[in-house]
């Protein structure tokens, strides 16, 4: 049967094959254990590093492979087919690395990107706080200039790879009275004085990933750790999320594909009323919706990622669309996969139970899907105001 042709070049096909193989051979055999034991996937991090995957989005001059948003989406889709928890660790390192790549000085890039590209050090991104989630501009953590140092005080919540990562991009207030224009971005290293980690959170899904609080207690960092200019922190955070959100959509596509594959495998074997349940139209219609919606989401994510890679300036709307559509789709498809499998689907013996739990976070992290709709709605309002 014919498949949609996305016209991948040779390098892109190689990325798909490599990450597909990693998912099948390395991730799937261990994903249930990692989930159950809430175990951080250090062995897999080493496998990804060996395959040069951490440098996929990093230019060759800094030790990476020079890929763009589209190549990242291809990799994230295949890895998420194996496990969204494991893939979250991989995606989080890119999220922590993007601010350095997009806004770092050449010296900062030389200093940090080669280690991130090699997978020698994981990166993390610290924006969210206990009272600043969707309202990202409401952060309370402060950074004060003192001689040759910045001194950070405050805390960050729900930071992916907290405690495991070595390099953290942190958004802190430098001029509170200026609102979003009063935030700045900093690089903080594990081991910096006054920087510590809270307990590991217990989560519904993506339990192979680590999520912790970060604490800054008179955390003193050298002046040259400021990213971009003072006051650019909010813009840096938003641009970072714009770059990364299509990848979350791609993870939704990979996860949904995995859930549908499981549901079809099961429906072809499960006999009720004297025939495999896939023979019933009730099941076929659900599978038909799944297959169609997965392909629609894949086409949207790929098209948007490729458009972003052409260097467009204002990508917030498109990036939000990719995340919104593909992750809502993933929630629906994983829920329906459990439904197709009935009682079996609800049991931890089958992987779709974990897939449905993992899907939920895709609608929440890197901005809830309600926030994505705000971003899209505000962009439409601006576009049409210009036309009027
Ligand atoms: N790119 C560049 N600039 C942007 C931007 C973007 N994507 N989004 C906003 N800005 C700019 C605005 O243009 C504005 O600049 P001016 O002061 O020059 O007008 C400034 O940033 C403030 O923007 P805005 O007023 O829209 O900010 P809000 O506080 O209303 O917040 C949302 C906007 C809701 C979009 C933002 O807070 C958000 O994305 N929240 C979700 C956060 C999130 O994803 N959390 C997950 C963390 S990572 S797991």
Q: What was the pLDDT predicted at 1?
A: 86
The SS3 assignment for 314 reads coil
Contact (CB, 8 A) for 237 and 66: no
- Residue pLDDT, tens place only, 125-143: 999 999 999 999 999 999 9
Kindly indicate the confidence band of residue 388, based on its pLDDT and cuts at 50, 70 and 90: confident
Q: Compute the distance between CA of residue 42 and CA of residue 47 in angstroms, rounded to an integer.
A: 9
Q: What was the pLDDT predicted at 29?
A: 98
- Residue pLDDT, tens place only, 7-51: 999 999 999 999 999 999 999 999 999 999 999 999 999 999 999
Q: Nearest 5 degrees, angle CA 171-CA 174-CA 179?
A: 85
Q: What was the pLDDT predicted at 376?
A: 98
Taking residue 127's Cβ as centre, other Cβ atoms within 10 Å add up to: 29
The tokens describing 192, both together, are: 């910096």
Q: What was the pLDDT predicted at 207?
A: 98
Mean pLDDT, rounded, of the chain:
98
Please choose from 103, 180, 181 the residue to mutate so as to test ligand 1's pocket, defined by most ligand atoms within 8 A of CB: 180
Q: What is the mean pLDDT of residues 90-95?
A: 98
- Residue pLDDT, tens place only, 248-293: 999 999 999 999 999 999 999 999 999 999 999 999 999 999 999 9
Q: What was the pLDDT predicted at 62?
A: 98
pTM of the model: 0.97
From 164, 262, 366, 383, active-site residue: 366
Which domains can be identified in the chain, with CATH numbers? Answer: 10-121 (1.10.540.10), 124-231 (2.40.110.10), 234-383 (1.20.140.10)
The DSSP bridge pattern shows strands 149-160 and 142-146 to be antiparallel
Q: Compute the distance between CA of residue 154 and CA of residue 186 in angstroms, rounded to an integer.
A: 14
The DSSP bridge pattern shows strands 123-126 and 167-173 to be parallel
Ligand 1 lined by 21 (C-beta under 6 Å): no
Question: Where is 246: in which H helix or E strand?
Answer: helix 233-269
Q: Compute the distance between CA of residue 354 and CA of residue 253 in angstroms, rounded to an integer.
A: 16
Q: What is the mean pLDDT of residues 156-163?
A: 98
The tokens describing 199, both together, are: 């307990």
| CA 207 vs CA 7, 88, 375: distances in Å | 35, 10, 29
Q: Does the structure show a pLDDT above 90 at 247?
A: yes
DSSP string, 146-177: ETTEEEEEEEEEEEETTTT-SEEEEEEESSGG
Q: Compute the distance between CA of residue 9 and CA of residue 17 in angstroms, rounded to an integer.
A: 12
* Among candidate residues 203, 157, 205, 210, the one with its CA nearest the CA of residue 39: 210
Q: Compute the distance from residue 205 Cα to the ligand 1 centre, in Å.
A: 27
Q: What was the pLDDT predicted at 276?
A: 98
Contact (CB, 8 A) for 230 and 62: no
- Residue pLDDT, tens place only, 198-230: 999 999 999 999 999 999 999 999 999 999 999
Catalytic residue status for 77: no
The DSSP bridge pattern shows strands 167-173 and 226-227 to be unpaired
- Residue pLDDT, tens place only, 294-303: 999 999 999 9
Q: What was the pLDDT predicted at 56?
A: 98
Closest atom of ligand 1 to CA, residue 242: 7
Tokens 């549901």, residue located: 263
- Residue pLDDT, tens place only, 321-371: 999 999 999 999 999 999 999 999 999 999 999 999 999 999 999 999 999
């Amino acid at each position: 049967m014919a498949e949609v042709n996305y016209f991948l070049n040779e390098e892109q096909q190689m990325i798909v094959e490599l990450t597909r193989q990693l998912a099948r051979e390395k991730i799937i055999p261990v994903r249930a254990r990692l989930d159950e034991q809430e175990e951080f996937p250090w062995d897999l991090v080493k496998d990804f590093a060996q395959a040069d995957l951490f440098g996929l989005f990093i230019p060759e001059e800094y030790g990476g492979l020079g890929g763009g948003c589209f190549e990242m989406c291809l990799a994230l889709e295949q890895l998420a087919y194996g496990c969204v928890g494991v893939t979250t660790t991989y995606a989080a390192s890119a999220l922590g690395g993007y601010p350095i790549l997009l806004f770092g000085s050449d010296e900062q890039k030389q200093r940090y990107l080669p280690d991130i590209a090699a997978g020698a050090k994981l990166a993390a991104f610290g924006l969210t706080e206990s009272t600043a989630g969707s309202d990202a501009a409401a952060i309370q953590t402060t950074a004060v200039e003192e001689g040759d140092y910045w001194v950070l005080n405050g805390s960050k919540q729900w930071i992916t790879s907290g405690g495991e990562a070595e390099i953290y991009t942190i958004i802190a207030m430098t001029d509170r009275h200026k609102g979003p224009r009063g935030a700045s971005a900093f690089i903080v290293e594990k081991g910096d004085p006054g920087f510590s980690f809270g307990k590991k959170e217990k989560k519904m899904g993506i339990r192979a990933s680590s999520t912790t609080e970060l604490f800054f207690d008179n955390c003193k960092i050298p002046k040259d750790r400021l990213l971009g200019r003072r006051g650019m922190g909010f813009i840096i955070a938003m641009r970072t999320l714009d770059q990364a959100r299509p990848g979350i959509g791609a993870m939704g596509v990979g996860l949904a594909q995995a859930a549908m594959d499981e549901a079809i495998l099961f429906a072809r074997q499960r006999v009720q009323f004297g025939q495999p349940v896939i023979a019933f139209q009730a099941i076929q219609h659900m599978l038909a919706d799944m297959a169609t919606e997965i392909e629609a989401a894949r086409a949207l994510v790929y098209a948007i990622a490729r458009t972003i890679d052409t260097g467009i300036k204002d990508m917030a709307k498109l990036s939000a669309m990719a995340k919104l559509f593909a992750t809502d789709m993933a929630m629906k498809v994983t829920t329906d996969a459990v439904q197709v499998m009935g009682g079996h689907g609800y049991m931890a013996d089958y992987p779709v139970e974990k897939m449905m739990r993992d899907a939920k976070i895709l609608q929440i992290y890197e901005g809830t899907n309600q926030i994505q709709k705000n971003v899209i709605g505000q962009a439409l309002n601006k576009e049409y105001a210009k036309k009027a």
